[in-house]
């Protein structure tokens, strides 16, 4: 019996040691990322944003920026919203939009803000119907799966206890992950990469923040990301004609890039979003949600297809009901006519120009 106990203790100690070493290395890497992110100041722009891990970048930036009064969550369709468009002073607004962002991304971003004591007054959500498509395999959010798991565990414990989760109970939950086999597999992979001299995940983020910052006034025709998280498109993109936008709209739909093809409702993801809104509202945060407008030709083609139109309508019905249950403001602005946006108000098949986004913000808020 003693031999068995000693063996178990040895194995647990080994798992704890491997996970602890990997966690220490990740902590060192995150510290470097935060230091690099803190050098990104208003008036600057980051080049090469397309080539960095957006989720690691956002994690580092949220740790570096002051508490934002307003923050935006959403996919690439919200990324052009700047502090100027929301009439906020520099530093009062941050755009946490990311390419193909999902509900789990929103949960992780909110969890990071909460843990850092940076709870905003207002959260803006730009939501696409495709985020509720179960058949759409979007897994980039797994970068911060631990944050999502911790949020969901806390929510479940809160429901079971009938109130806030005690700090010690939550600390125990997070601490026991050091003995997790799932975490062990990730740790071993990270340590093998380190031993082999390969670049750590997220190293390109620190490299970009250390070497690719330029004054915003010197961007010219280059694409760049402002310090408030908003995206400036390259000159060639900004100068696309309405005719080209219509061509892009046809290609976007006919090439099955809408994310609404083979649509299957993802009830789990929908429940997670409503759970997030409940927590935000319980914390006294104002939540404003909208479904963003499409260019006229894209919207016409989407509505002309019964399957895509039904998928969009299902997402809208859920958002309306969830918003009503949680006290969230919601507007479906998918039809560009609802905000007075025409073909010339879009860069391509889905991304709106600043003037259209300004109308969206005015209508939603």
β-bridge mates for residue 225, sequence order: 46, 231
Question: What's the mean pLDDT in 211-238?
Answer: 93
267 assigned to some structural domain: yes
Judgement on whether residues 266 and 317 belong to the same structural domain of the protein = yes
Does 21 score more than 90 pLDDT?
Answer: no
Judgement on whether residues 114 and 262 belong to the same structural domain of the protein = yes
pLDDT value for 144: 76
306 assigned to some structural domain: yes
Strand 122-126 with 213-215, pairing: unpaired
Least confident of 110-119, 250-259, 314-323: 250-259
263 assigned to some structural domain: yes
Judgement on whether residues 15 and 81 belong to the same structural domain of the protein = no
The residue among 200, 215, 244 that closes a domain is: 200
Q: In whole numbers, what is the pLDDT of the chain averaged over residues?
A: 84
Judgement on whether residues 252 and 343 belong to the same structural domain of the protein = yes
Judgement on whether residues 32 and 176 belong to the same structural domain of the protein = yes
273 assigned to some structural domain: yes
Residue 96 exposed, middle or buried by CB count within 10 Å (0-12, 13-18, 19+): buried
Number of domains in the chain: 2
Judgement on whether residues 124 and 18 belong to the same structural domain of the protein = no
Does 178 score more than 90 pLDDT?
Answer: no
Judgement on whether residues 20 and 94 belong to the same structural domain of the protein = no
Does 304 score more than 50 pLDDT?
Answer: yes
Judgement on whether residues 195 and 337 belong to the same structural domain of the protein = no
What is the domain-level CATH number for residue 254? Answer: 3.40.50.1110
pLDDT value for 172: 47
pLDDT value for 240: 85
217 pLDDT tier (thresholds 50, 70, 90)? very high
Q: Which residues, including other chains, have CB under 8 Å from residue 270's CB and lie 6 or more apart?
A: 103, 132, 318, 322
Judgement on whether residues 10 and 91 belong to the same structural domain of the protein = no
169 pLDDT tier (thresholds 50, 70, 90)? very low
Sign of CA dihedral 154, 160, 166, 169: negative
43 assigned to some structural domain: no
Judgement on whether residues 138 and 176 belong to the same structural domain of the protein = no
Judgement on whether residues 350 and 254 belong to the same structural domain of the protein = yes
Strand 93-95 with 70-74, pairing: parallel
Structure-model confidence comparison of residues 206 and 190, the more confident one: 206
Report how far residue 105's alpha carbon sits from residue 140's, in angstroms, rounded to the nearest whole number.
9
Judgement on whether residues 12 and 138 belong to the same structural domain of the protein = no
* CA neighbor of 183 nearest in space, from 150, 157, 216, 158: 150
328 assigned to some structural domain: yes
pLDDT value for 125: 98
Does 182 score more than 80 pLDDT?
Answer: no
Question: What's the mean pLDDT in 217-237?
Answer: 94
The residue among 152, 182, 200 that closes a domain is: 200
Does 12 score more than 60 pLDDT?
Answer: no
Does 310 score more than 60 pLDDT?
Answer: yes
Range of the domain at 337: 67-142+235-364
62 assigned to some structural domain: no
Does 322 score more than 60 pLDDT?
Answer: yes
Q: What's the pLDDT tens digit per position in 74-95?
A: 999 999 999 999 999 999 999 9
Does 101 score more than 90 pLDDT?
Answer: yes
333 assigned to some structural domain: yes
């Amino acid at each position: 019996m003693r031999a068995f106990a000693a063996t178990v203790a040895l194995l647990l100690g080994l798992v704890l040691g491997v996970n602890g070493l990997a966690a220490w290395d990740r902590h060192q890497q995150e510290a470097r990322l935060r230091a690099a992110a803190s050098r990104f100041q208003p008036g600057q722009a980051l080049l090469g944003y397309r080539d960095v891990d957006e989720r690691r970048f956002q994690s580092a930036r949220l740790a570096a920026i002051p508490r934002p009064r307003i923050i935006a969550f959403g996919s690439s369709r919200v990324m052009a919203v700047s502090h100027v468009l929301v009439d906020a002073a520099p530093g009062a607004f941050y755009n946490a939009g990311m390419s193909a962002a999902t509900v789990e991304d929103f949960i992780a971003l909110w969890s990071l803000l909460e843990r850092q004591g940076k709870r905003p007054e207002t959260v803006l959500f730009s939501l696409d119907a495709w985020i509720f498509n179960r058949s759409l395999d979007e897994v980039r959010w797994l970068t911060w799966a631990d944050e999502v798991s911790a949020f969901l565990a806390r929510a479940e414990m809160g429901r079971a206890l009938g109130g806030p989760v005690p700090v010690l109970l939550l600390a125990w939950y997070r601490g026991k992950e050091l003995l997790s086999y799932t975490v062990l597999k990730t740790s071993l992979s990270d340590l093998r990469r380190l031993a082999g001299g390969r670049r750590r995940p997220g190293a390109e983020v620190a490299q970009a923040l250390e070497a690719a910052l330029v004054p915003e006034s010197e961007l010219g025709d280059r694409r760049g990301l402002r310090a408030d998280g908003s995206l400036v498109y390259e000159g060639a993109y900004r100068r696309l004609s309405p005719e080209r936008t219509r061509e892009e709209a046809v290609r976007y739909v006919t090439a099955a890039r809408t994310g609404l093809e083979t649509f299957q409702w993802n009830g789990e993801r929908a429940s997670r979003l409503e759970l997030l809104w409940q927590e935000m509202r319980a914390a006294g945060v104002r939540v404003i949600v909208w479904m963003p407008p499409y260019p006229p030709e894209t919207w016409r083609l989407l509505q002309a297809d019964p399957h895509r139109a039904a998928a969009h309508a299902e997402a809208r019905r859920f958002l309306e009901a969830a918003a009503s249950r949680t006290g969230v403001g919601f507007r479906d602005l998918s039809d560009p006519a609802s905000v007075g946006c025409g073909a010339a108000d879009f860069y391509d098949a889905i991304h709106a120009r600043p003037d259209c986004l300004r109308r969206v913000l005015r209508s939603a808020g």
